[in-house]
Structure 1
Amino acid sequence: MNEPRLARVAAAIADPTRARVLSRLLDGRLHTAGELAAHAGVTAPTMSAHLKLLVDEGLALVRQQGRHRYFGLADGDVAHALEALLRVADGRDTEPAAAARRWQKPEMRGLRHARSCYGHLAGELGVQWRDSLLAKGWVKVAPDGHYELGDQGRTALAELTPDGISTTGGALYDCVDWSERRDHFAGPLAVAWLSAMVGRGWLSRAKDSRVLTLTPPGRFALFESLLQ
C-alpha cells in the first residue's frame, strides 16, 4: 500500500531541523542553503538533504539565479497551513492561558507586536492595520467574498500600492493571526503593502527572525497621518 501523501507531508514538517527551516521561510523571503544551515545549526550537506526533501514534497521551492540557489515556501497555502499548525502547537484549544503567558515573555513580544507572515504584515500591528482599513471603508468586501480597495482606499493608499497590481479579484483576503487569534490581511496586495512599508523605512526587518520593528517615521506615517 502506498504511503498517504498527508503522512509524507506531515513527516517532512515534523523533523525539528526542517520545522526550523519552514518557520524561517515564513518571512516570505528567499534564503540560500548556507543561510538556512546557519539558522538551523547544521552542516551544508545536511541542509541540502533537508531542502531537497522539502522541495520534493511541495513545501518549498528553489530559484536559480546565476550561481546561487534560493529557497522559499512553495506558496501561500503552505504558509497558511504552517500558521495553523503553529496555532495548534501554541495550545489554542487546550491551554489558552498558557499560550497567553507565552506571548508575554520578553523574547516573544517583538514577534507578537509585528512580524512578516509569508510577506504580509502580521501580529498586533497587522490586525490593527486590517481593522483600521475596514473601519475607514478603504477596504470593502468584494463579490467573491475576499476584499477590494474602494475609491477612497485607492487614493489614500496609492503610495503603498504599486502600479499594475490588482486591487480586486482575490488580491486581498483574511489570514488568521497565529498570536492574536484574529484576522490580518494576506494576498498579493498585502504583500505589496508590506514591501512598500519596509522600502520607505516605516518598518525594519530583524536579521534572523520574522520580527518587524515600527520605526519613528513609520509611526508617524501610519498612525499620525495615514490612519488618524
Structure 2
Amino acid sequence: MTRVLVTGFEAFGGQAINPTALIIDQLQTDVFQQTMKQAGVVLKTALLPVVKGESVNHCIDAIESFQPDIVLMLGQASGRANISFEKVAINLDDFRIPDNAGNQPIDQPVVDAGPAAYFTQLPVKTLMQALKQQGVGAEISYSAGTFVCNHLFYGISHYLATQTRLSSMCDFIHVPLLPEQIEAELQITDNQSLPSMPLETMVEGIACAIVTATSFPSEQQISAGTIN
C-alpha cells in the first residue's frame, strides 16, 4: 500500500469557500476511501491555514504523523482553466495581498540561505497526460506564484530534502475556481471573465493524479513548456 497525504487550504482573499477544502471533504468520504484502498492507496488529508509559516508547520506535523510516500498539496488559482501541476517552487515570499493572519512579506526568502528553487520529483507530465486521457483539463505550470501556495510548496520541498530519514516526494497542484465562486471573484478582482471547473471534475482529476502517482511511472518526454 502506498501512503498519500493530500492537503487543501481554507478560504482566503475575500472568498467564502476554497475548492481545495471541498475536494478534501470528498476525499474523506467512505466511498472514496474504499476506492483508494482498492487501488492500493492509504489516503490521509489535512486542511491548512492560509498563513505564512503555519501552513508549512501544519503540513510537517501531518507528514511526521502519517509518514507518507507522496505529498500532494492543493491550492486555488483564480484565472486558470485547468488543473495545474507545478514544476518548481522558488525561495521567495512576495505577497500581493495579506495572508489570513495579516502577514504580507515583500521580497523575503521562504527559508533563509535555502537554495533558489526546488523541482518536483514527481512525473508531472505523466500525471498531466493521465488527466487529459480522462477528459480532465490539465497542464504544467512553471510558477506557483509568490503567495502561500508557493510558500508551502517550497517549505515542504526544503523540509523533505533536508530530512534524510524521509523519502517522500511532493508536488503542488493548483485547481481553478468553482463556478459558484465566479461572481464574487469578479467583484474582488474586477476582471471581465474568469474560467471555472465543476467540483466533481476536480475530484476526478485529483483522484486520477493520486492513483497514477502511486504507480511511480517514469516521466514522459513531451513538450509542455511555455513561451511566456
Greater RCO between the two (CA within 8 Å, min separation 6)? 2
Q: Larger Cα Rg: Structure 1 or Structure 2?
A: 1
TM range (shorter): under 0.3
Q: Which has the higher helix share?
A: 1
* TM-score, normalization by structure 2: 0.26
